Structure 1
Amino acid sequence: MRKDHTIKPWDQTPNIELSHIRYFVAAAEHGSFRKAGSALGLSQSAISRRIAHLEDQIGASLFHRHTWGVSLTFAGQHFLVRARKAISTIGLGAFEVASIGRSEHGCVRIGIYSSVASGFLAELLTRFGQLHKRVRIEMVDGNPTDHVAAIQQVALDVAFIAGTRDWPGCEREQLWTERVFAVLPESHALSRHKKLTWQDLASHTFIVSEAAPGKEIHDYLVRCLTGLGKHPEIHVQKVGRDNLVPLVGLSIGLTLVSEAMTAAQFPGVAYRPIQDEVLPFSAVWCNRNDNPALRRFLSLAKTISAEPTRKRGNVAPSQTRDPSP
């Protein structure tokens, strides 16, 4: 029989190895150090030494030693319950971490500029959701500068931004293009045209949202129309882009949207493409971000971008207008 152990002071945490807990559980289940050692591929003496070390660390005897085997002490019975729970918890934790490493779980935080109602982003999000059902997607609306600042701080995983500008400390890859559409009232004379030119739009009043991407659209209009010798009249409305388009239907002014946003239909509003006007869109992310779900997400985005059906809808880079400042 082992002598009773001296109880350790309450402020001394035992240094217990997980393997010793496994040996203890095996010995308790087999009722014998010899049988536990046989099951684990160890000698009886090796199991006995490790159990003794565990008892020394805890400060209590866990087994009564008999000639025929071992039986649990009162302390050992209580410890067995917690030991099994600890092994189960660690095993589950290891499984969850492995799942996250395989991107089966986790989260991808995405900054958006274009619409997710249709087009490339809608297809990407749909297909990723089908492949990785347990990965949570978080969407954040905002302007490119704010998105990139969050990416640099790893507070955001990836942003999809109009343009091909390179950002400090970030990776970037152009993935798709979208045509640019003018938004005008259905009753407007220009709505009779299938396509419009900048010359058609030069003398009209435009409205943009105070929220993103209002500033980018404002700067885009200025660059496009001043090239024609026109100084555009642009009014800023203190509404989000979802309320901006209905204002167009009320003849407050015209505005611009990218192709994916034309999926949203509003009464009294017409969308008309601007001839030869195409926006490139890029994914921007931080190369220090080790989120495995992000890597899978980017891999799928690049795969979709390279598909022949996607490329047929794109315009050659030389024909695109880069809105980046």
Structure 2
Amino acid sequence: MFSCRIPLASLIQTLAVAEYLNFRHAANALGVAQSSVSARVKALEENLGVLLFERHARGVRLTEAGRHFVERVTAGIDQLDHAVRTAGMVARGEHGRLRVGIHALIPGSFLATLLERYRERHPGIEVEIAEGTARDSVMRLRANRLDLTFVAGAPEFPDCHARRIWSERLLVAMPARHPLGDQAGVTWADLAGETFIVRHGGTGPQVHHRIVMRLVGTSPDLSILRFDVERGTLLSMVAQGYGVTIVGEAASPMHAPGVTFLSILDEPEPLAFSAIWSPHNRSPALRSLLDLAGQMSRSGRSA
């Protein structure tokens, strides 16, 4: 039984001998004494209990066992070198993985631009995207299945950090043929008799809450229907006359034939969007994304 505690220097010197097939040339390449190389290789062979090299007057030749050993050690050294290099890159936020929860990814929106710029600046980071409701995303975050999630609103969780990143004006999306569709804007009172349709997922729960807050006291017959559909399908349902819905202004450039987007003139608060992450997550990749989001927010890049 041989010891598995083989010095790394012995392996490196053995690989050098296998490359040059000459102890003197290997020693010169490594900048060490030939006697040191010879002694280490001999000790390694004794430790393994096999002959790695056949010695002859002009140099050495690998044995069959030696060729097998060198191939495996070379692969192991390459993996070790990769591990050392990538460990430093991960520590600097240049390499790794970032798992991001989102409510939607609309081309041209703040979030889409943020992720695009981040991937451009950090090509070594693999960004994984998971779409879902705020509740689902926070549950994934707590289970360590996400590094960060962006949610509508400004929630506070005792076990998570939260930071407001950007905000969007609220718009009403209604059928283009709607009697109010040719106006410059509407008020909440104008919408009191409408049937609202919202999504179960994405920002649907936050939109539902905002509608209730604004109309529950003034519209006794308030009608809000919830559907398990994607954003594009919901807008198509608006065009077909199922009802009206409330969206952030990032959704207004979406290709939605038959839909008109109008400002809500008396809506006092834009819809905030926040980043949520665990205080125990020390990922440099996460920190880099938060820093970039902060820079874009301060510069007024909201769309």
**TM above 0.5, one fold?**
yes
Aligned to 1:304: 296
Pick from 65, 78, 81 the counterpart of residue 91 of structure 1.
81
Amino acid at match of 2:72: R
Equivalent position SS for 1:256? strand
> Structure 2 stretches of 5 or more lacking a match?
none
Aligned to 1:294: 286
Q: Distance in 2 between matches of 1:73 and 1:160?
A: 59
Deviates more, 1:190-199 or 1:57-66: 57-66
Aligned to 1:72: 61
Q: Distance in 2 between matches of 1:106 and 1:22?
A: 28
Pick from 254, 259, 283 the counterpart of residue 264 of structure 1.
254
- Residue pair 1:109, 1:158 contacting (<8 A) in 2 also: yes
Deviates more, 1:115-124 or 1:225-234: 225-234
Amino acid at match of 1:193: Q
* RMSD, aligned α-carbons: 2.7
Q: Distance in 1 between matches of 2:143 and 2:286?
A: 15
Deviates more, 1:120-129 or 1:175-184: 120-129
Correspondence 1:135 to 2:125: yes
- Residue pair 2:199, 2:230 contacting (<8 A) in 1 also: yes
Per-residue Cα deviation, 1:135-159 (whole angstroms, up to 9, x for no partner): 3332222111111111122201211
Q: Structure 1 vs Structure 2: percent identity of aligned residues?
A: 34
- Residue pair 2:153, 2:206 contacting (<8 A) in 1 also: no
Decide whether aligned partners of structure 1 residues 183 and 243 sit closer, same or farther in structure 2, where only a CA change above 3 A counts. Answer: same
Q: Distance in 2 between matches of 1:246 and 1:84?
A: 59
Q: How does 1:1-325 map to 2 (within 5 A)?
A: 8=1, 14-33=4-23, 35-64=25-54, 71-74=60-63, 75-228=65-218, 230=220, 232-275=222-265, 276-307=268-299, 309-310=300-301
- Residue pair 1:183, 1:255 contacting (<8 A) in 2 also: yes
- Residue pair 1:148, 1:167 contacting (<8 A) in 2 also: no
> Structure 1 stretches of 5 or more lacking a match?
1-7, 315-325
Amino acid at match of 1:179: R
For residue 57 of structure 1, report the CA deviation from its aligned partner: 2.7
Q: Distance in 1 between matches of 2:21 and 2:128?
A: 52
For residue 231 of structure 1, report the CA deviation from its aligned partner: 5.3
Decide whether aligned partners of structure 1 residues 143 and 295 sit closer, same or farther in structure 2, where only a CA change above 3 A counts. Answer: same
Count residues with an aligned counterpart: 300
After TM superposition, the score normalised by the length of structure 1 is 0.81
